[in-house]
Amino acid sequence: MIPFLDLKAPYLELKQELDEAIARVVSSGWFIGGEEVDQFEAEYATYCGAAHAVGVANGLDALHLALRAMDVGPGDEVIVPSNTYIATWLAVSQCGATPVPVEPDARSYNIASALIEAAITPRTKVILPVHLYGQPADMDPILALARKHGLRVLEDGAQAHGARYKGRRLGAHGDAVAWSFYPGKNLGAMGDGGAVTTNDPQIADRLRVLRNYGSRVKYVNEIQGYNSRLDPLQAAILRVKLAHLDAWNARRRAIAQLYQDGLTGSKLTLPHVPAWAEPVWHLYVVQHPKRDALQQALTDAGVGTLIHYPIPPHLQQAYAQVGWRADAFPLAHRMANEVLSLPMGPHMPTTQGSQVLSALLRSVGADD
């Protein structure tokens, strides 16, 4: 059996360092904020090439609080991809604002920058691209549009820790980047965690107040804030893992290369990597018109796969009140029916990669 992702392996590789980090926090008696969180924030900001990192409780809160820090509220519109994890949309809705979906580029799966301008209205406040599957979105045209129309740019980096756009790591291309440290992400905690990186001192300052009950000084509350803090245990764990992130991303790249080499010329549509992109392969996603049969054949062959994502946000019950038609966003709809994520992770042996390849080539062949 080849699992889609092995979440025990990272602990086994770093057991001693992680056990020490956990023991350090437990024996310190300091369980909210403090040194570990401050240190992780400093180290992650440096890693991302950003002036500030602010830890929060999870990726959804990172998106939501970053939008709040940008003053997004009722009546505002935020441009989002039509094909993303629903968190990107929910963060906008939690502000009382409206997510305005824009279709992806059919090859890169990231928001099609050429379609964004038509979606801008006098109510638009923020453009929210997602670096989907670990591949950077095309930031320069998005930033140019934002400058032209006086908009903010918040990036959803939940799947792209360490990815580079035109040679520079993600972290401060737009006004802010929201990160998730959910266990399965490229930089994953042993529980929930999140952060926002930014070069804007005002956004960083607002986030620090928002995440802590709207308070800077204990029992003095400036605004109606939230409780959304990064746990020091998770911060200590993340500090250990951050030191290994580049090496782990390199191992993902090797698996992606194996897939790319083995599947070129097959009937599968493979990920397209633009010349300026250095993706970190959070997911390796192939596309096939008979996706469900292919997934079943792989399951039968003992290969674990997942679908990211089976239902696009506009067709979720959660957004039924908007009344979107299924064909309102045909590309997002088609992706939901045709994409398949192959096993991928830094601890996946290359022998398993080869087994995935042969099972895949057998199945695709049998399908013709």
Ligand X SMILES: *Cc1c(COP(=O)(O)O)cnc(C)c1O
Q: Hey, CA dihedral for 318, 321, 327, 329, is it positive or negative?
A: negative
Active-site annotation, residues: 185
Least distance from ligand X to the Cβ atom of residue 193, Å: 7
Can you name the residues that pair with 303 across neighbouring β-strands?
A: 2
Least distance from ligand X to the Cβ atom of residue 266, Å: 27
Nearest to 241 by CA among 111, 101, 47, 54: 47
Which is nearer to ligand X, 49 or 191 (by Cβ)?
191
Which is nearer to ligand X, 185 or 291 (by Cβ)?
185
Scanning 243-368, the segments in alpha helix (DSSP H) are 245-263, 291-300, 330-338, 350-367
- Amino acid identity of residue 44, one-letter, is Y
Count, residues in the chain? 368
Which is nearer to ligand X, 252 or 352 (by Cβ)?
252
State the residue number with the nearest CB to ligand X.
59
Which is nearer to ligand X, 190 or 357 (by Cβ)?
190
**Tokens linked to 97:** 């604002």
Q: How far apart are CA 126 and CA 66, in angstroms?
A: 11
Which is nearer to ligand X, 85 or 284 (by Cβ)?
85
In the chain the beta strands, taken as DSSP E runs, fall at 52-56, 77-81, 98-102, 124-127, 152-156, 164-165, 168-169, 176-180, 194-198, 215-217, 220-221, 277-278, 284-287, 339-342
Which is nearer to ligand X, 159 or 305 (by Cβ)?
159
Q: What string of DSSP letters covers 290-310? A: THHHHHHHHHHTTB--B-S-S
Q: What contacts 24+ positions apart, CB below 8 Å, involve 359-363? A: 359/297, 359/298, 359/301, 359/302, 359/303, 360/263, 360/266, 360/268, 360/286, 360/294, 360/298, 360/303, 361/262, 361/263, 361/266, 362/297, 362/301, 363/293, 363/294, 363/297, 363/298, 363/301
Which is nearer to ligand X, 63 or 172 (by Cβ)?
63
Query: Contact positions toward ligand X, by CB under 6 A?
Result: 58-60, 84-85, 87-88, 130, 156, 158-159, 180, 182, 192, 194
Q: How far apart are CA 2 and CA 248, in angstroms?
A: 19
Cα→Cα distances 335→42, 104, 272, Å: 38, 10, 15
Phi/psi for 69 (5° steps) reads -65, -20
